[in-house]
């Protein structure tokens, strides 16, 4: 289960031990882990415990359209 902020939609890393979103102070909710995220390599996490966007194999950040 992923923990996601209900306000800014930031995804928190699995090791984050917080009750509120470190980015905006919003409440956290749990959602099922996405299927392709289970097979992916360990995500990059910043100093606040927020998962950073995935990188494309050729470089750049994968963003939703």
What is the overall mean pLDDT for the chain?
Answer: 82
Neighbours of 11 (CB within 10 A): 20
pLDDT of amino acid 42 = 77
* 27-62 CB burial, b ≥16 within 10 A, e <16: ebeeeeeeeeeeeeeeeebeeebbbeeeeeeeeeee
Question: What pTM does this model have?
Answer: 0.69
32-52 average pLDDT score: 78
User: Does pLDDT of 59 surpass 80?
Assistant: no
Q: How far apart are CA 23 and CA 50, in angstroms?
A: 8
Which CB contacts under 8 angstroms, 24+ apart, belong to 8-11?
10/50, 10/51, 11/50, 11/51
């Amino acid at each position: 289960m992923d923990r996601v902020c209900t306000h800014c939609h930031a995804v928190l890393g699995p090791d984050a031990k917080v009750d509120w979103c470190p980015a905006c102070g919003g409440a956290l909710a749990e959602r099922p882990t996405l299927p392709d995220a289970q097979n992916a390599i360990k995500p990059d996490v910043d100093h606040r415990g927020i998962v950073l966007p995935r990188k494309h194999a050729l470089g750049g950040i994968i963003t939703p359209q």
